[in-house]
Amino acid sequence: MPKQRTQYICDECGAEFPQWFGKCPACDTYGSLTEQVVPATSSNPSRPSLSGNSWMREGGGDQNKSEGQPRSSFKLSQIAEQSIARCSSGYGEMDRVLGGGIVPGSLVLIGGEPGIGKSTLLLQVARNLALDHRILYVSGEESGLQVKLRAQRLISGVDNGVLEEETPPEIPEIADETVKIEEFNGKEEELFTLSPALPENPFGPDLVPEPLRENDNQLTHQPEGMEQLEETQATLETPPEPVKQPATTQSQEEPRFYLLPETDLEEILRELESLKPYLAVIDSIQTIYFPSLTSAPGSVAQVRECTSALMQVAKRENITLFIVGHVTKEGGIAGPRVLEHLVDTVLFFEGDRFASHRLLRSMKNRFGATHEIGVFEMVANGLKEVANPSELFLGSRDDFSSGSSTIVACEGTRPIVVELQALVSPASFGSPRRATTGIDSNRLVQILAVLEKRVGVPLSKLDTYVSSVGGLNVSEPAADLGVAIAVVASFRDRIVDPHTVIIGEVGLGGQVRPVSQLELRLREAAKLGFKRAIVPHGQNPPDLGLEVISVSKVLDAIIEAIPGPANQAFAETPTSEESSTLVAGETNVDNFVNEFDDDFDDDFESENPVF
């Protein structure tokens, strides 16, 4: 019997070491090495091993090559071109995130917080594909009955439900349920025990049977209304006419949705090889275990080996695999980093559990664009795709308040119009607060420093709060100019033109820098009815029906964004060449700052007389 050996694996990066270290030499994480027992190599050559990348040697690739013969390389031009026919998931938003549809034989890892809707989304996708393809749903967290109950709840009211059984209702047998008067045993309450098929009161609303006396042992008289009871009973005993069932399709008569409540990897692989489904869902990878490993399910070794074995079967049998992954308390996908390297696509399902919308974000995609998003809305029957996401993140332009601005953010290749809101108020304590929702807090601190140093807005002693409507996470630099204008508008208590979109990156010198995909952003703004757009200088977009205003400095953008007397303080301030001297300190910046202070103090005292 070969001697077992141990190795130490990092829980963060998955690196393997022959001895223990207090700090992982690969990722410099302290206390992340855990001991794992390496399974002994089987002496039976017919039994495959699942450790490492053995699937590449024992089943993957060219089966005609003899064992031990080295693989021969070939030229890239020798590979025959094949057009891969993608399959639609039934949801346009998910097809967008996947790059145009599901690629056969691909591995897709989807992660997200508990209860966000990962299993719901995949169950709905599996139901759509089961109309035309064979689907296998492997559940490691729920029993078969629980999955069916959840599926029936999701597809209630949906036509052509594959999982819903359309059988005629059973008619209860009257002879077994109906109380016979001649078998009365003297208990008064049993006389009124009725069959579920009978009406609540078979004697009619005005006919109530006369109760028997307590000492009666035999029925001496027939209560009034018994003739109606006998007629009702005879009617129910008559065989009902056959129920006409609607015409069903072949997919309904022969459902192609298969369910496997199993956590043993060997049983799952055996079912995949025998059933050969078009798509299989593994829910979740942290519950699957390989019996030859002594570690617990969900450990680094188990997740790595199980994923490698599943990838072996998926690539060999051309099966599309959707794998559900848990997340850590930091928000990342649980398990070793090698898990994300093995799969073809990594999707992250995110959203606020207190809101109805969900975002499906692509973090890695070998067959499409990364950082693409799909927007869904959680309703009573599951997830529903949102065709126009800007409606969720754009407030009403009729009720525009001070401190609001509109930007166009790009998530992958999708432009989304988002409203930003800012609130500037006196600090209640010595140190002012900077709080954000959907905006990077470090980015906000940088923008506030630019406004105070380059524009002259005194914000060092004021609390500043910035949020995006709907809670959308906007992290790209193109939102900088919109944040800056929203903060200044709140500081001056002015309203930004609600028909203006603001696009641009703010540099540390107060410049407005160019952004990517400007034409795509402007097209989205024009489609939603915006009239003006403030963009960085030097970018010449085509005529899209918008008044395009090019600015080179943040000060110029503020003057253009706040109309009328709102920018009176800025109108008296020199722009262009003179503004640079103002920024450089060649003119009296203190007068400009004091003008802000005086106006702010007057407005604040008039609105708050208690101060």
pLDDT attached to residue 224: 52
Whether residue 428 is annotated as binding a ligand: the answer is no
Total domains in the chain come to: 3
Domain presence at residue 460: yes
Looking at 345, 372, 387, which one is the last position of a domain? 387
Q: In terms of domains, do 492 and 377 share one?
A: no
Looking at 387, 404, 435, which one is the last position of a domain? 387
Query: How does pLDDT run across 357-382, given as a tens digit for each residue?
Result: 899 999 999 998 888 999 999 988 88
Domain presence at residue 53: no
d(CA 219, CA 609): 90
Q: In terms of domains, do 496 and 379 share one?
A: no
pLDDT attached to residue 376: 93
Q: In terms of domains, do 405 and 523 share one?
A: yes
d(CA 405, CA 500): 8
pLDDT attached to residue 52: 42
pLDDT attached to residue 602: 53
Q: In terms of domains, do 448 and 596 share one?
A: yes
Q: In terms of domains, do 402 and 507 share one?
A: yes
Whether residue 461 is annotated as binding a ligand: the answer is no
Looking at 371, 387, 403, which one is the last position of a domain? 387
The three-state secondary structure class of 433 is coil
Whether residue 116 is annotated as binding a ligand: the answer is yes
Whether residue 115 is annotated as binding a ligand: the answer is yes
pLDDT attached to residue 189: 41
Q: In terms of domains, do 370 and 429 share one?
A: no
Contact 492, 566 (CB under 8 A): yes
Q: In terms of domains, do 369 and 451 share one?
A: no
Q: In terms of domains, do 411 and 542 share one?
A: yes
The three-state secondary structure class of 267 is helix
Contact 190, 155 (CB under 8 A): no
Whether residue 412 is annotated as binding a ligand: the answer is no
Tell how far CA 295 is from the center of its chain: 31
Domain presence at residue 577: yes
d(CA 333, CA 340): 9
Q: In terms of domains, do 495 and 591 share one?
A: yes
d(CA 223, CA 148): 48
d(CA 534, CA 556): 10
Query: How does pLDDT run across 572-604, given as a tens digit for each residue?
Result: 443 444 334 333 333 333 444 455 555 544 554
Domain presence at residue 78: no
Q: In terms of domains, do 374 and 522 share one?
A: no
Domain presence at residue 181: no
Domain that holds residue 24: 1-40
- Token look-up 């939102």 returns 479
Domain harbouring 111, CATH code = 3.40.50.300
Domain presence at residue 65: no
pLDDT attached to residue 68: 52
Whether residue 99 is annotated as binding a ligand: the answer is no
pLDDT attached to residue 352: 77
CA angle 473, 475, 477 (to 5 degrees): 145
Q: In terms of domains, do 501 and 448 share one?
A: yes
Domain harbouring 418, CATH code = 3.30.230.10
Q: In terms of domains, do 481 and 513 share one?
A: yes
Domain presence at residue 195: no
Domain presence at residue 214: no
pLDDT attached to residue 15: 81
pTM of the entire predicted model: 0.68
- Give me the phi and psi of 30, to 5 degrees please: -85, 140
pLDDT beneath 50: ranges in the chain: 43-66, 157-169, 171-209, 211-221, 223, 229, 232, 235-236, 239-254, 566-593, 600-601, 604-605, 607-611
Query: How does pLDDT run across 507-520, given as a tens digit for each residue?
Result: 999 999 999 999 99
